[in-house]
Each structure stands twice: as structure tokens, then as C-alpha cells.
Structure 1
Amino acid sequence: MNQSLFTSPISTGLLANRYQLKQLIGSGGMGEVFLANDILLGGIPVAIKFLTQTFVNTKMQQDFAREALMSAALSQKSLHIVRAYDYGINEQGKPYYVMEYLSGKSLKDLIPLPLPMFLTLCRQICLGLQCAHQGINIDGKICPLVHRDIKPANILVIPDPILGQLVKILDFGIARFLNYTSTASTSRGFNGTLPYCSPEQLDGEKLDSCSDIYSLGVMMFEMLTGKKPWQPETDYFGAWYKAHHFEQPKAIADIKPTLEVPEKLNHLIMSCLAKKASDRPQNIAQVLEVLNSLEQPNYPSLPTILAPTSIVTPPLYSGLPITVEQSCQQLLWPENKPIQEIVFPQLLDTAQASMTALWLMLPKEEIKKYALSTRYNQFIFMTSPHPMLLWVTVLYNRQLAPKWLPCYLDMQNPQNLRLVSFLAENERYPLIFFTLEAPHSCTNVLTSGIEPTQRQMLKTWMEQCHSLPAASQLQLSKQLLKQQYKQMQSRILQYLESEPLVVLSGSI
């Protein structure tokens, strides 16, 4: 790695009176990345990217500031886009932006991939792209973002306790900025990466999401085969221009005859590689629809079955000790809670036991309908930027819409820590139903099981919470967890619909 471009920041050691630069950790066509400590936030590690672009006038600085702000705003909307925290210009006029520091592997170092891993990573990449293409609100106007440089080197794959493998897309908004500020001709001032560029990008045309979809097609081909769809004799602009405009992509079967690729997936990749933007999928949702249809029912992040026990539960029998159930039926709806359809966790103290329970209010007829239902649960924990637990319970009946019962728990709140502690100690937790109609009495009690691996995971998360530094970004963590919750709902339903009526539980 060549450190000569940025010797000044390293020699001074401190950037913007805040970031203690440590060492060069990566370099590429767009610039170089340094590991640094944010001394303003107690020395937490961050990654700082210095761009190759040099600012020579005020307008360029304003343009970069706008792109950096858009990139930062976008990164708060999706779990699959690297979070950007700060930006600036150093004394030499080099723009930089500050990102979360992530320890993982570049996708380019992992390919070719087996099909299950390919589907897992592609789906996450598409979710990040979809979020960007849908746009962000800037001064009351929705501004869609096109990446313009989708390639394996801009995809980071990191170990994650929730998903197993978490995709992060790098450099959103920055590629757009570099293209936007380029004043040279297309061939000489081109800032994209030639093997992944759409024909319209090479022509210098205005780009939309279909250009990213073309680059995604090139990358998907490479993820499966380890090769690109074209292999021109040289890497010069003219050779790639000819390939993208006039040469048909090679067939996956010709590159890797032993690879069994579903016909739907093969057709998807080839359609993404269409020369005309109008012949490609017109949005990422169309790509996701195909990928979702190819995912297996035992998708790795889906939960596991607790016990193959059919639910034939009389409405007023929960499986709890009879004295505990009787105590539940005598409970009154808390005066500080609104009279509406809500769910919240609360500690249940009886002479026999203390346990965490879910209290929920529903119309009387709904309570009757869900008395015989599959109960399913998952727990998702996020340590950063703010420690938070998402506890999801689902009541599932094939004749009814699923009833989703999510609870978001701030894990810096001592009361919530106590709730989670009792969850980890008990094999089951009660669901206590109160009627929406007066007198708002308890009419039913059900339970959902927590398998041993879940309980151990909860205990591990509790231990982690005690060692985490104080944080103040509660809403950001909640927003990220809401995204993850929304993304997993369809997979949960697919799983529940394929199973007999059993008590289910899971954790991711």
C-alpha cells in the first residue's frame, strides 16, 4: 500500500482536532482509508476515507458537503449501508468522510460463492440498494440516490450475531459526487469501474436505478462463477466500451459447467445485463421478488422449532401453574396505560413465581379467535449505536391475519434489564389478554416457550450490556431494528405457512 499521498495527516496525527489517525488500512481508485480513534467520543475506532479528488473552489466544497450529508442521511435508513458520521476537508484540500469502523471481508475476497450464501448476500445488497433508490427527504424533496460504482470491492461482509453474515455497501453518494465534479471527457475523466459500468454510464448519460441494476447483474454473475460476463483483450476504456455496448455476456453454464443455477436466477442475471435500460428489471423490488422465491424454507436466519407439540389449548388453560394462571385472571389493566390495542412487557409477581409477561389489549372477539393459535417468538439484540432488544411474539392462525406483537427494550434501562433477566430464567412467558371493551378484564392467558439456546443467548446479551459504554442514540437503534423486523416478517410467514400448527420460537 502506498502511503505517500497522505503523509501530512499521518504526520500531524490529529484531524479536525478530533480524529487521531492510526494507520492506513485500505486503498483504491477513490482514495485511501485510515483507522482512527474519535477522541471526542472516548476513543472509539472509526474509519476515515480521504478521496483522491482535490477541492479547488468553494462550489466543489459545497457539492461535496451536500453529497456527504445525503450519504450520511441514507446510512441511517438502512442496516446494509455503511454509516457515515462526519465529513470535512483537510489542510491540503483533500475531502474526507468518517464512517463506522467494521471488521470484515471484502466480497471480492469471498467469490465465487455457493448458491445459499449467494442468495443471502444478494438479498441484503438489494435491500440496501432499494433503500437508496427510494430516496431520502432533503428540504421537503425526495432525492433518489444511484450508487454508480456497485462492485465486489464496495461490498463488505462482516460477522453478525443477528444475521450470521451482514452486508454493508460502501461509498454511497461519493461515486456520484466524483462523477458530478469531473470536468474531463468521458473516456479520460471517467470515475466508475469499467467492468461493472452500464452502457449509459459509459456514454455519460443521466443515470437512474437501472444503471445500478446492470452493475448488480455483472456482480451477481461474478459472485457465482468467479469470472466477469465479458473478458476483453485489454482493460482499456475502448475495450470495455465495446464489450458493454455490443458484445453479449457469456453464459454462466459456459463459464462454470458444474454449477447448477436455477433457471429463474439465470434469467434474472441475464435480464439485468440487458444493453437497453428498458429491457432490465425496472426496480430492485423486481430483483428481490425473484431472489425471495429462490430462498429455501430453512433459510439460515429463520428460527428453530421449539417442540413439535400441536396446540389444542382450551381458551382458559395456559400451561402455567394453576395458581399463577388464577393470579393473572385477577389482574387489572394498569391505569397509566391507554385503552387501545397495545402490547407491553411487565413483570408478574406472584407468591409462586416472578416472571416476565406480555400484557395486551384486543377486542373480545379477536381474543377468542387467537385462543387456538401457533405462538412463535424471536429475539434480536443490537449493541450499537445504542443497546436495544427487539422481542417479537407472533400469534398465527391460518384462517386469520397474523398478530404481530413487537416490544423494543432499551437495554440501558435497569427495569428492562430485570425483565430480560426473568425471561432468561423461565422456560415460558405468559401472554395476558385484556378486553378492549369495558370493564377491560383479563379473559385469557396463553404462553410461549423459550428454548434453552434462546435463554442462554439472552443471558449472554445481558452480560454484554453491563460492559457497554453509555449511549444516547436510542431512536437510531430502534429505527434500525424496525428495518430488520420488517425484513424478516415475510420469511417468518413463509416458514409458519409451511409448518404444522406447533409452538415455535427462535432467536437471531
Structure 2
Amino acid sequence: MIDPNIGRILSNRYQLVELLGQGAMGRVYGARDVLLGGVPVAAKFLAQTLLNQKMRDRFEKEAKTCAGLGQRSMNIVRVMDYGADDDEIPYYIMEYLKGESLSDVISRQPLPLPRFVRLTRQVCLGLQCAHQGIEIDGEIYPVVHRDIKPSNILVIQDENFGELAKILDFGIAKVLQADSGQTNCFMGTLAYASPEQMEGHELDGRSDIYSLGVMMFQMLTGKMPLHVDTHTFGGWYRAHHQQPPRSFESANSNVKLPKPLENLVMSCLAKSPSDRPQSINEVLKALDPFYQKYSASQELRDRLKDFVGRVPINPTPKVPTSLNPEEICRLASWPADKPRAEIVFPNAIRTSNETLATLWVMMTQSEIEKRLICTRYKQFLFIPAPHPTLLWLTVLYNQEYGPRWVPCYLDLKSTQGQKMARFVIESIR
């Protein structure tokens, strides 16, 4: 059945193109801003079953909260407009984000440590912005998300910043105004809720830190830190209040963590708010040494490994030989299927122990003479959109003659490109 909303234009500006998702709270459509030449945006509608004044007010508050926070943090979804359609159903317009939820990422495998640190740090930066607050009537009020979990974190590939984590769904966020009153009821997701949240108490940023701790444990192990036999409120209430979190080793024996990082996650999971990090700034400070440790090459390796790991590739057979890699490279002949011209191409050389990713280049005799003494620099750039490509860039630098750039593109949609990318991953250290 064709969705009757497809093709509709909201406020003479936003044309609905496709249904992106739906849930109990409403629907999200991909749209285009016809006023700005068709720029892609997303439109979120409140569900028709929730069209009472209380839910309208909450929906409007979500839009205003995201609008205020998204302008200040790249790690929070950005809202640009708010309105109601001809049937008085409220909607808001937000940036169009194409990616996958952190929940889907974790479902494939636990995150390697470098990627875990990068994504967790970005979530913390988004929470830092929220906890610092938004301005209402000239006053700044902190915002507690109250529903931090993997399915509310979207992982996207940004052309300028690489992999980005975006916090979604501020629908039940709490703006901590002095006269806002007590919560008095539970709102959130049972498996990620803090003990004080289960009790319906007024919350502060330390509740989000507890939920973050649950999520961090899951990101590292693929498992939850607490276990319940039945997914009921009572079962989770007892778990969050009485059950100590399981150890990393018992959850996943393959996970080997630095002790300071393990201690950080466990401190976030403390039952009492006073025993947790007292602000998200403390969590960021604890993560900083690990963030500084991992280089750009390790980030590339993780991203490439995650990408090519989704496509099964038959391993290339290895040719037994007693020669070492350097000797093999020196004895290798120019491939018969390659023209004798000034070209650059990747080529796999097999040894008895490994397959080496090598870059071959043919230059003129005069250019070779200039490059007999050179310093070589190597860099890899991975671009997942609009087409997954790896740029293998080698620079031959001679102090007298300057640089000679040797760029080579690997098409990661092709089997050959994926194979070569696997060999490159193994060679990056």
C-alpha cells in the first residue's frame, strides 16, 4: 500500500519523499526542502494516537530542546523548524542523517577499543552540551536525556569529520527548572535506567552517566552488565538496585581492557549517584588518555575492517616460498597485464606467511634518477559516501626536486578492491 503522505508538501516548503521509520511516538519521513533547492531533511510527526495536549507540549519541548542543543553540538541531532500540518498534527524538521544505530553496530560484534573510545567520547560530548543546559527566558537550565541507549545513538559517516555519533530522541528529556516539580513516575528504558530513575525521583546528569555505563559495557562486550529472568519493571528494579554488574571477563572472555578503562565503566554503574563520576566532564577526562593514544591509522583500520567485514571474501591462496618480503619485492616482475606506461596500481604479493599489499608505479628514467634518494610518506584516506573508496596516497619526497605524488584509488564495491583493503588493514600498525 502506498503511503498517502508521500508527496505531501508541509508549509509550502518540505515535500515528503519516503517513510524512514515509525514507532509508538510517531513517524519519521525523508523529505526535501523545496525552498532551498531540494536539500534533504527529515520530518518527524507525533503519532495520531497521542494527540492530546500533554503529548503536544512534550513534542514541542523535544523540538525546542534539540533545536537549542543541536546548534551547539555536532553530536546531537539538529532541529531546524517546527509546525503543524493541515490536520493540526505537529511535526518538526531535522537534519537528514543516513547511518545505522549503535545497536546495529554492536549486534555484529563488540567494538574494538579505538572505535569504542572515539564513539563514547562523542556521546559524552553530546551529553556535556545537554547537561550544560539550554536558555529559557534568559536563564540556563540543564537537560537530562533520561533514555541513553544504543538505539538512540546514530552512527553516520560525515564527509568532513569521518565517523560521527549523534544522540537522538530527546522526547522524554527533562529540563531541570527550579519550579518543574518532581517526576513522580518512571520514564525511560528498563534495561538502561538508573536506580533513582526507576524510583521516579528527580534526576540530574549522573542518571545519564549510569545509562552510559550500561551502554559502554555493552559496546565493549556485546552483553548487558545485568541479567533478569523476566523483562518486567520489578525484575529490572531489583537488578538495578541489588545486582552487582558482572565482570568483563565473565561477559566476554575475549575482551582485554586496560584497568583504568574497566574502572571507569564500573564507576559509572555504581548504584548510588554519589559513587559515580559526578559530571560527564569527569568521564571525558578519564577517556582522554585513551583518545590521545589511538592514531589516525588505527581509526582507519577499524573503519575499514568494519566495512569490508560485512562482505565475505574468499582468501587468496598463498604461495610457499623461503624468501623474505623484501627479497620477493626486489625479484618481482612487472605484471604482463599492465601497460608499460606512467601508471600506478595496487598489487598483492604472497609470501609463505602473509599477503602483502604493495603499490606499483612506473616512472620515466629521468624521474627515477631524481628519486633515487627519497623520503617516502604513506597515508590512507577512507571515504564511505557517496561511494566507498580508499585512497592510498604515497609521496616520494626529494629535498632538491620536491614531492612526487603517487595516488591510487581502491573501489570498495569491487571484490578486488575489498581484497586489497583487507591486506592494507593487516599492514596498518
| TM-score normalised per structure 2 | 0.63
Q: Which has the higher contact order (CA 8 A, sep 6+)?
A: 1
Matched, 1:85 2:76: no
Deviations 1:256-311 (A, max 9, x none): 112101111111111111111111101011101111122353422899xxxxxxxx
- Specify the alignment match of 2:173 in structure 1: 176
- 1:228 matched to which residue of 2? 224
Contact 1:244 1:275 in 2 (8 A): yes
Following superposition, the deviation at residue 90 of structure 1 comes to: 3.8
Letter in 2 for 1:207: L
Q: Which residue of 1 aligns with 2:235?
A: 239
Find the partner of 2:128 among 130, 137, 140.
Answer: 130
Q: Contact conserved, 2:46 with 2:59, CA < 8 A, in 1?
A: no
Q: Kindly tell me: are residues 88 and 202 of structure 1, through their superposed partners in 2, closer, same or farther at Cα, counting changes over 3 Å?
A: farther
Alpha-carbon distance in structure 2 between the residues aligned to 1:95 and 1:71: 15
- The match for 2:23 among 25, 28, 37 is 28
Structure 2: distance between partners of 1:102 and 1:301: 26
Q: 2:284 corresponds to which residue?
A: 288
State the shift of 1:124 in Å. 0.9
Aligned-residue offset at 1:218: 0.5
Q: How many residues align?
A: 302
- Where does residue 196 of structure 2 map in the other structure? 200
Deviations 1:325-367 (A, max 9, x none): xxxxxxxxxxxxxxxxxxxxxxxxxxxxxxxxxxxxxxxxxxx
SS at match of 1:216: helix
Distance in 2 (CA, whole Å) between partners of 1:69 and 1:202 is 26
Shift of 1:227: 1.0
Q: Which runs of 5+ in 2 are unaligned?
A: 300-396, 409-429
1:261 and 2:257 matched: yes
Report the CA distance between 1:138 and its aligned residue: 2.5
Partners of 1:249 and 1:227 in 2: CA distance: 11
Distance of 1:92 and 1:195 partners within structure 2 = 37
Whole-Å separation in 2 of the counterparts to 1:61 and 1:27 = 17
User: Residue 179 of structure 1 contacts residue 191 of structure 1 at CA under 8 Å; is this kept in 2?
Assistant: no
Distance 2:244 2:87 in 1: 45
**1:132 Cα offset (Å):** 1.1
Counterparts in 2 of 1:128-167, with a 5 A limit? Answer: 128-167=126-165
Of 17, 28, 36 in structure 2, the residue corresponding to residue 41 of structure 1 is: 36
CA RMSD of aligned residues (A): 3.4
CA offset digits 1:37-96 (Å, max 9, x no partner) = 122222211111223472423x76455434422320110001111111112334555432
CA contact (8 A) 1:54 1:95 kept: no
The aligned runs of 1:312-461 (5 Å cut-off) are: none
Q: Which residue of 2 aligns with 1:277?
A: 273
Distance 1:284 1:45 in 2: 33
Q: Which residue of 2 aligns with 1:50?
A: 45
Measured in 1, the distance between the counterparts of 2:192 and 2:207 equals 10
Q: 1:14 aligns with which of 4, 9, 30?
A: 9
Sort the Cα spacing of 1:41 and 1:69 in 2 relative to 1 into closer, same or farther, 3 A.
Answer: same
- Whether the 8 Å contact between 2:141 and 2:176 is mirrored in structure 1 is no
**Aligned CA distance change for structure 1 residues 51 and 266 (closer, same or farther; 3 Å):** farther
1: distance between equivalents of 2:292 and 2:89? 47
Correspondence for 1:105 among 95, 100, 104 = 100
State the alpha-carbon separation in 1 of the partners of residues 183 and 284 from structure 2: 37
Distance in 1 (CA, whole Å) between partners of 2:25 and 2:147 is 10
Q: Per-residue displacement from partner, 1:411-447 (whole Å, max 9, x unpaired)?
A: xxxxxxxxxxxxxxxx9xxxxxxxxxxxxxxxxxxxx
- For structure 1, the residue ranges without an aligned partner over 5 or more in a row are 304-426, 428-448, 457-508
